[in-house]
Homo-oligomer: A and B are copies of this chain.
């Protein structure tokens, strides 16, 4: 399914070299101010061409509002945001039609859609669609900005006593390492020197979340976040808090001791989630990004026509390290999930402010 979310719900569409990529956002509250300028910084962060190691393909990436916005404000009706594809060089891909590129969706897409798929530049499977995720993320982030989850007197007698600090929810993702190097330039240079692509690790943190977001049983915070995170191309793993390291720890080491009535813990090995719900501490998780499948290096694959193995060298314009572009996308999907959880828990009203 190309839709995700329960109240704040997105439907994505588009192709790499087709007419457009875009998104419909259903369930966004009415009254949220939105202008094109709100989108530009995050779209710029995602865009290739400015960083060493990113693709020279440059799209203008101007969001076009097609519905749901009136007088620069959300109306409560579905918001449609479109990005037109202009700067495409499909010819690069036509040549590769007979040879599925290793690591790409070419082979499985053809199996799934019987040859009817738009194969140009990975078509619907392209990272190009993340431009639409970033746009939805901008809407979600603006929503979070306007939200100050505060004590709900119905919730818990304890909350009435302890004072919530006025908090704004903030989501930020950073690259922890590239090619195993915490010095990112060093990691990138490794790829350049080897004329190869390379992977990386990104960490995402969210502060200011109220306690008890997330739903039992299947819609734990980890479940919903990982669901959307794995929709980002190239993600191979996700871990929350201490993550895989927890498997080597003793319980007495791993448990976080609660130290105040707002749920603050002395340590944060849990990464802000216990029992599938936020526990009042910082949300922390990391994802692994595989090296870009398109590498300048020669590789072998199967030719669909000759049914023979042959050598292929992927030309086109590609990122050496796709991880460089992922942080803003990771922030986007995280903000989308948080917005949805806040609405489910009624921390965000259906009309703002």
Is A334's CB within 8 Å of the partner chain B?
Answer: no
One digit per residue, 1 when the CB lies within 8 angstroms of any chain B CB and 0 when it does not, for chain A 107-124 equals 111111111111000111
The reply on A302 being an interface residue by CB < 8 A is: yes
Q: Judge whether A350 is part of the interface by a CB distance below 8 angstroms.
A: yes
Q: Determine the distance from Cα of A168 to Cα of B260 in the docked complex, in whole angstroms.
A: 40
Q: How far is B346's CA from A304's CA once the two chains are assembled, in angstroms? A: 25
User: Chain B interface: which of A38-46, A47-55, A137-145, A241-249?
Assistant: A241-249
Q: Report yes or no: B250 in contact with A231, Cβ–Cβ below 8 A.
A: no
- With A247-B290, A250-B291, A288-B244 given, is the CB distance from A75 to B116 under 8 Å? yes
Of residues 58 through 91 on chain A, the ones whose CB sits less than 8 Å from some CB of chain B are: 65-68, 70, 73-80, 82
CB pair B216–A2 under 8 Å, yes or no, is yes
Contacts of A155 in B (CB 8 A): 111, 114, 351
Please, how many angstroms separate the alpha-carbon atoms of A111 and B151 in the complex?
11
Question: How far does the alpha carbon of A39 sit from the alpha carbon of B117 in the complex, in Å?
Answer: 22
Q: How large is the interface on A (under 10, 10 to 19, 20 to 34, 35 or more residues)?
A: 35 or more
In the complex, besides A236-B241, A247-B288, 4 extra interface pairs with C-beta distance below 8 angstroms are: A14-B78, A66-B82, A112-B277, A259-B302
> Of all chain B residues, which has the CB nearest A1?
B219
Instruction: Name the residue in A66, A117, A270 with the highest tally of chain B Cβ atoms < 10 Å from its Cβ.
Output: A66
Q: Given the known inter-chain contacts A222-B235, A247-B199, A291-B249, please indicate yes or no for A78 contacting B12, CB distance below 8 A.
A: yes
27 residue pairs from A and B, CB less than 8 Å apart: A1-B27, A12-B218, A21-B67, A70-B118, A75-B118, A77-B216, A100-B258, A107-B279, A109-B277, A111-B156, A111-B159, A122-B275, A154-B353, A155-B351, A179-B249, A223-B230, A230-B276, A237-B239, A237-B240, A243-B288, A246-B288, A247-B289, A250-B291, A257-B301, A259-B309, A346-B346, A346-B349
Q: Is A323 an interface residue (CB 8 A)?
A: yes
User: In the complex, A259 Cα to B99 Cα: how many Å?
Assistant: 12
B309 and A244 within 8 A (CB): no
| A96 within 8 Å of B (CB atoms) | no
Q: How many copies does the complex hold?
A: 4
List the B side residues contacting A122 at CB < 8 Å.
275
| Chain B: minimal CB distance from A239 (Å) | 3
Chain B residue at smallest Cβ distance from A116: B30
Identify the closest chain B residue to A225 (Cβ). B230
Bound state CA distance, A297 and B252, in angstroms? 6
Pairwise interchain contact B274-A105, C-beta atoms closer than 8 A: yes
Q: Are A117 and B261 in contact (CB under 8 A)?
A: no
Among the listed B21, B219, B237, B274, which residue makes an inter-chain contact with A244, where contact means beta carbons less than 8 Å apart? B237
